[in-house]
Amino acid sequence: MAEIPRKSLSEIVASQIAAQILDETYKSGYQLPAERDLIKQFGVSRSTLREALKTLEEINLIESRHGVGRFISELNENNLAQANQMASNGETLREASRVKITSEDSPQGPHRLPVTPEKPLIIPNLKTDRLGTFSFISWWEREKVENAKVMVVGAGALGNEVIKNLALMGIGSLFIVDFDTIELANLSRSVLFRESDSGRKKAEVAAARAKELNPNVHVQYFHGDITTTLGLGIFRRMDVIIGCLDNREARLAVNRFAYWINKPWVDGAIQEFFGLARVFVPGEGACFECTLTEQARRDLSIRYSCPLLARENILLGKVPTTPTIASIIAGIESQEALKLIHNKPVEPGKVIHFNGMTNEVHTTAYTPVEDCESHWSYGDITELPLRTNTTTIKDLLNIAHRDLGPDAVIELDQELILSLNCPQCGNREEILEPISAVGFKRAHCPTCGLLRETVMTHTLNGDEDFLSRTLASVGVPDLHILRAYNTEEYRFYELTGDLDNSLHFNHFERPADETPIKLTGRIKIKDVINLKERPKITIHKPVIKISGTKKDIEDSKKAVKITISSDKKDIEES
């Protein structure tokens, strides 16, 4: 027998009791049998029975009398209709789960029904509740799903599928990151993109379409390079990060960020008909960097003669993929994220390989590398009510010096290019921009064309001659967490003043007063019909449009009066 989610089970029990009330096995005004007898009769747990009784109480089919027990209510128009509805729903449910729970004719006996752990009873209205069916999943916790904040890094083939899945499942808030724009070749693998989107930002379009798929989901998009332009404070406020990336450097960056702020992340990779998916949880098993081969490590650490050229090479590389492998791997990634949201067990540091040519799936555990450079988590984070675009380097150094003494320095995440110097003609250009913002072209001397030397630093100690520059101007992203240290310890400072601007999840949100509110109601014409001379009522598809805030609409509803006239008298309905 297939396992039945407990919720359907309690509904089946409720429906059977309703049916027994309808056929007068239990009569109005009489006491319902004791709990233990009902438990025996239906072969369910106490909590399932109580859920069923609660349902019956909610539709006034039974009532509790304190200290006495439960009694069958007087039947009236309302509860009779609902009892009928419930009894017939139960019929469908029983058919669907192929269960009979009458004690006499169940071959395996009523006591063998599996019971899943405690879960509050919610009866979804499948006509109006788009996520209603998920409530039938025994372990689904709607509140956790609706409160979840998930970052999707990469809105390409994998990202499209993951974002689609998360939106359909009603994951509450999505933060979508990508630095790329849409070209027509993307359309073959991107369910969220249309031909007319050509040239638009992938992150923006994906976020807009996610909102369209499920308007209850809150979205925010970020068009930029994940490795340098997104503040760590954003990562810190996510529950799960899902990587939908196509290059090692970006994965390495996400891996380090996730470790620093102690967040799980899910990685996926696809090529032709092959794919893999894996979950990394800081401190549990291997991390992404641990999985790299010696060769890959060497590739990453190659010293290019020009650091600016090294960076540009990273952004190359296109991998051939299909929408089919993208949906398979993205499906696994989305499910792993769903498990993480529910605190269900995952297998961190293990990889699922899928070979679409042979349909072989295998799982392998990676060996954690002891001295892996990624294994470092930040300690307590000090939240400063400061903003990146108004706080100067000097301001932050003052705080660091106060906390850590005069030797404290600030350590930047990426190199700050101070100047470009020409060894041939002596040309010197002050830059003061992060390495990510300076292209390879600029490294060439404008006078003689030679490649200039790059002078850069990644610490700030207070001796600099640009201390009045703001943090934003030297490339610190909004809502970032900066590190300061002296010879003994580190401190971590978050520029929390940026929070409202940088993390809002309100892109493509309709302003509250434009949200259409469906007004439904019924005009009772019973009184009209009782008149001796029945008036003729003709209604030509009346449409009442009210715009304004929710309160305005409530007020208008109260004010609207519908008047129906007859020869005898006027009848008004509000």
Instruction: List residues binding Zn ion (CB under 5 A).
Output: 287, 289-290, 372, 374, 422, 424-425, 427, 445, 447-448, 450
Q: How far is the CB of 196 from Zn ion (least distance, A)?
A: 43
Count of alpha carbons within 13 angstroms of residue 94, beta-carbon side: 16
Q: Which is nearer to Zn ion, 258 or 416 (CB)?
A: 258
Closest distance to Zn ion from the beta carbon of 248 (Å): 14
Q: Please say which residue, 290 or 481, places its beta carbon nearer to Zn ion.
A: 290
Alpha helices per DSSP H over 98-179: 142-147, 157-168
Q: Which helix (H) or strand (E) holds 242?
A: strand 240-243
Least gap, CB of 16 to Zn ion (angstroms) = 56
The CA-atom distances, in angstroms, between 343 and each of 146, 294, 314, 478 are 14, 34, 35, 30
How far is the C-alpha of 426 from the C-alpha of 419, rounded, in Å? 12
Alpha-carbon torsion angle 398, 402, 406, 411, nearest 10: -60
CB nearer to Zn ion: give 115 or 369.
369
Cβ neighbors of 361 (< 8 A, separation 6 or more) are 352, 353, 354, 355
Residue 359 in tokens: 């349909």
Spatial distance between the Cα atoms of 247 and 311, rounded to a whole number of angstroms: 13
Q: Which is nearer to Zn ion, 26 or 280 (CB)?
A: 280
**Least Å from the CB of residue 259 to Zn ion:** 8
Q: Which is nearer to Zn ion, 34 or 309 (CB)?
A: 309
Q: How far is the CB of 420 from Zn ion (least distance, A)?
A: 10
CA distance linking residue 270 with residue 322, whole number of Å: 9
Structural contact between residues 428 and 421, judged by C-beta atoms closer than 8 angstroms: yes
Closer CB to Zn ion, 373 or 513, in the complex: 373
- Cβ closest to Zn ion, residue 205 vs residue 290: 290
| Least spacing, CB of residue 277 vs Zn ion, in Å | 18
CB closer to Zn ion out of 258 and 528? 258
CA distances (Å), origin 574, targets 63, 400, 415, 544: 33, 67, 70, 14
Which residue, 351 or 410, has its beta carbon nearer to Zn ion? 351
Residue bearing tokens 């990562």: 235
Instruction: State how far the Cα of 348 lies from the Cα of 140, in Å rounded to an integer.
Output: 21
Instruction: Closer to Zn ion by CB, 269 or 287: give it.
Output: 287
Task: Report in angstroms how near the CB of residue 348 gets to Zn ion at its nearest.
Answer: 11
Minimum distance of Zn ion from residue 496's CB (angstroms)? 29
Q: Which is nearer to Zn ion, 213 or 300 (CB)?
A: 300
Specify the DSSP element, H or E, that contains 79: helix 77-97
At 445 the three-state DSSP class reads: coil
Place of tokens 């379409």: 209
* Nearest to Zn ion of 48, 255 (CB atom): 255
| Smallest separation (angstroms) from Zn ion to the CB of 424 | 5
With b for 16 or more beta-carbon neighbours within 10 A and e for fewer, the 123-137 pattern comes to bbeeeeeebeebbbe
For the bound state, the minimum distance from the C-beta of residue 267 to Zn ion, rounded and expressed in Å, comes to 13
Min separation Cβ 254 and Zn ion, Å: 13
Q: What is the nearest approach in angstroms of Zn ion to the Cβ of residue 334?
A: 24
DSSP states of 259-321:
HHTT--EEEEEEEBTEEEEEEEBTTBS--TGGG--HHHHHHHH---SSHHHHHHHHT-----B
Nearest to 480 by CA among 384, 401, 380, 375: 384
Residue 109 CA to residue 556 CA, distance in Å, equals 58
Residues 137 and 183 sit within 8 Å (Cβ to Cβ): no
The Cα 562–Cα 574 span in angstroms is 6
Rounded Cα distance between 369 and 373, Å, is 9
Nearer to Zn ion among residue 233 and residue 285 (C-beta): 285
The nearest distance, CB 426 to Zn ion, in angstroms, is 7
Residue 443: which of 456, 457, 459, 460 has the closest Cα? Answer: 456
CB 295 to Zn ion: min, Å: 17
- For residue 281, count other CB atoms closer than 10 A to its CB: 19
How far from 271 is each of 276, 286, 355, CA to CA, in Å?
Answer: 9, 23, 10
Considering beta carbons, is residue 373 or 407 the nearer one to Zn ion? 373
